[in-house]
Amino acid sequence: PRPILDMSYSRHFLDFQGSSIPSSMKKLVVTKLSQNFREAVTLRQDSPVPLPGDGDLLVRNRFVGINASDINYSAGRYDASVKPPFDIGFEGVGDVVALGLSASAHYTVGQAVAYVKAGSFAEYTVVPANQAVPLPSVKPEFLTLMVSGATAYISLKELGELSEGKKVLVTAAAGGTGQFAVQLAKAAKCHVIGTCSSDEKGGFLKSIGCDRTINYKTENVESVLRKNYPEGVDVVYESVGGKMFDLALNSLATKGRLIVIGFIAGYQNSTGLPPIKAELLPAKLLKKSASIRGFFLNHYFSEYKMALKHLLEMCERGDLVCEVDFGDTSPEGKFVGLESVFRAVDYMYMGKNIGKIVVELPHSVNSKL
């Protein structure tokens, strides 16, 4: 028996606003392994709403985050042993609507929480209480910090060795995680260079402190770096891969550090990898005493709570811009409802977003009060 608090004895139970939580819900499920998100993922209309166990929260998702790696997950690249069908979506923000007995020691119904856990592309998600992050309110800005902000914060802190005056290059700087790399490097008194794909993105980057923006559609990144930074750059925060990786590697200064947090240019390939010219890698690193460091957030969960606490404080103080892109300018308009996750993933791979792509999940509340 799993004791559940805040549920009536009937099949339906009441949430904190007096509206009935349904017995079934919509969710996205990977039904076939593919890097083509639309091929891989199915919208299920009538999945049972899960019940929280003793140490769990049932969260009604209000906002869910889109990540480049959603298509790596749908392609089964992280764990070959997991076979479809399985749930997808990495992060969500919402309200606690029911909880188990042990979980009620720290949480209450109606509380705003965020979490990082597979299965967020659903109307309701069960989240272990010890993995939830209590929030002051349900705001989409907080969602930007969960994966994107934490990745930038921990990777730069642990691997970047930032100090005043260092030159930091951020690729895809106007994206979900790039926006934080720019601001955190600037907060460390570094000189920040950001690559982007439009003048509009360049304007956004300048507004958050970027010293030099490079629109790679209209400027040659390599030429700009060679001309303006002949000694090279000290740190590269790199998430694009392919030609951008090669270019970043060639632009490193003596003792420079290249931090790889992803390679989105290759995720849509069947292998998931963009081709790079790596044959000369040992010679290039040796010549400059340079290094390449990979960063995967899952390996740094020991640092996670501390990083998130700091980021949330900065966000609350207004010291951090947490740009959210709801797809208002996309052809079919704002991303609302689980159906629009497919469009949101396409939008990301078209490189249209400024900031973190977030999908809103509206809930009609039938209050009985």
**Tens-binned pLDDT, residue by residue, of the chain (369 aa):** 445 454 443 333 444 444 568 889 999 999 999 999 999 999 999 999 998 888 999 999 999 999 999 999 999 999 889 999 999 999 999 999 888 888 888 999 889 999 999 999 999 999 999 999 999 999 999 999 999 999 999 999 999 999 999 999 999 999 999 999 999 999 999 999 999 999 999 999 999 999 999 999 999 999 999 999 999 999 999 999 999 999 999 999 999 999 999 999 999 999 999 999 988 999 999 999 999 999 999 999 999 999 999 999 999 999 999 999 999 999 999 999 999 999 999 999 999 999 999 999 997 654 333
CATH assignment of the domain containing 233: 3.40.50.720
Q: Are residues 353 and 289 in the same domain?
A: no
Domain that holds residue 198: 146-299
In this structure, are residues 236 and 247 in contact, taking their beta carbons and an 8 Å threshold?
no
DSSP character string of 297-356:
GGGGHHHHHHHHHHHHHHHHHT-S---EE--TTSTT-S-BSGGGHHHHHHHHHTT--SBE
d(CA 135, CA 138): 7
Q: Are residues 251 and 172 in the same domain?
A: yes
Predicted TM-score (pTM) of this structure: 0.93
**Helix and strand numbers, DSSP H then E, in the chain:** 11, 19
d(CA 228, CA 103): 55
What values do phi and psi take at 230, rounded to 5?
-60, -25
Type of residue found at 351: G
Q: Are residues 14 and 95 in the same domain?
A: yes
- Furthest C-alpha separation in the chain: 72
In a domain, 316, yes or no: no
d(CA 353, CA 201): 9
Nearest to 336 by CA among 346, 326, 345: 326
Split into its structural domains, the chain has a count of: 2
Residues 6+ apart with CB under 8 A from 163: 188, 189, 190
In a domain, 318, yes or no: no
